[in-house]
Structure 1
Amino acid sequence: MEWEEYPYGGWFGEEDFGDIALFDISFSGPNDGWCVGNYAYEHQKRYGIILRYDGEEWYLFEENLGEQVSSVYTLTTDNVWFNVFEGGKSTLYNWNGKELIEYYTNTPNDGLSDIDFYSSDNGLAVGDLAVVYHWNGSFWEELYYDPLAFTIFMEVSFDTPTTAYIVGENWVTGENELWRYDGGDIVRLRDWQEYKSVRIIDFISQDNGWIFGYYYPDHDPLHGIPCTWHWNGDDWILEEGPDDMVGYGIYCLDYYNIWIVGMKGGPLCCSWRYMP
């Protein structure tokens, strides 16, 4: 696979934002994109930021929004969801085309990690202590909460209207786990040990999904190789990922247009785009 790399996201220079992190990216179409993260003013206090793409260029849409904007999902140009972290608490915001409206979720440990939607009245939010919330078009309600799982749910992605994959991290074993939401139950997929290093996930459809993580070869089990796995409807196919990448967020417009945001080689903020 060939990935095009954009240092500092390709949207601003180091002299403008020398201490910036990008955590998630989402599109409603090729001419409407959103990216979120934070930056540190004079390398001290951090502020959450939102970037927007208008089909030609990225620009700063919102700054000083909490301490960190950790996730974004775009349904339409005028229906965009954000997860904002500040003061030890997560708050979900919705952009309705005119203003940002707050939605408090009251999570058990006050921490959400990711949001994903299948439609405007069908969304999921996941976070600390294996918590899952569902959006029904009017309000968020708790679906699942299991502090004894010792797992932080980090990523979620729908593949059908009633099913979704969830990526978790077990803080006892240090391993990443894959969980399955089937519209009712939420269970850990025990046969996913090969992919215990999976970090981020996104599905376009039931037979087209991508995950990013690290592959640990038998001859060097301590050093992971950045990789992507593509789901073709029957099986996961291991493919090469961008070199020296730590991915935080992934979004697939289609099979031939995939974006990842994260860090390269430590402190350098980057984005990568796959367009074969």
Structure 2
Amino acid sequence: MSEKSTILCVEDEDMLLQDLKEELEDEGYEVWTAKNGQAALEILQEEKPDLIISDMMMPKLDGPGLLRHVREKRPGLNDVPFIFLTAKATRDDLIEGKRLGVDDYLTKPVDYDLLLATVEASLGQVLRVKKQNQDKLRRIYNAIQKQRSASEELRVSFVVQNPASVRPILAALNELGCTVSVISEDQLVKKSFSVEGSDILFIVYSKIVHYYLKYVTEGIGKDWKGISVLLAPSNLSQEQRECIKDAGISNTVEYPYPPIEIFKLLMQKMKT
């Protein structure tokens, strides 16, 4: 790997947390530490690790609570492997963890050779999946480019307040050579933006976006000749869907916004 992989270790025993940090750093990993699940969430507000290792039993917020929050409320962390450390997990604990989306378990006392092998395997699997997806995206993108002038780049704009929520898509577009720009919701409210120089506009659904689409739709889905795509949750109400349709946005990709599905949609639109 060209850069160090980052690992978040969450453990309330100071000595074990320090041992984990030292062992992983000796192998070349960058390690962030937290003493409970709540402290880990504070780190995850600002950072995205490549892997999370967490104790199961901790004060304030335990391991299962942390995992539940990550898997249900942090879509930007969907591709981050999660490993539990446990001293006495019951069969029911193991089943609950699997249902929540844990990727692996390690028992205490920690066998550090097994720990390092598990970390390497988990990170390797993520890289393989990313490479497979990138290969698929590249084939689709090349097919899209055949519909356009070879000298032109695909110009893509995103309306999103928090770019981290769509980081995988932004990274894929940038790597494929697209010209990508971000329009904040503040610019949307003030109407201080233009999509005239864009071929494709992605809009991440929110209350502010809903208001804009319902009451101020000039420039999106009306006179503009590009392609508009709404990235939306799967639980939109009928009223919300009607608002989107009335605003002239007919393309919707639901959470978790698979990049491959997005590029397939773009390819279909380019062909037409």
For the aligned pair, the TM-score class normalised by the smaller chain equals: under 0.3
TM norm structure 1 = 0.24
Higher strand fraction (1 or 2):
1
TM norm structure 2 = 0.25
Higher helix fraction (1 or 2):
2
Structure number with greater Rg is 2
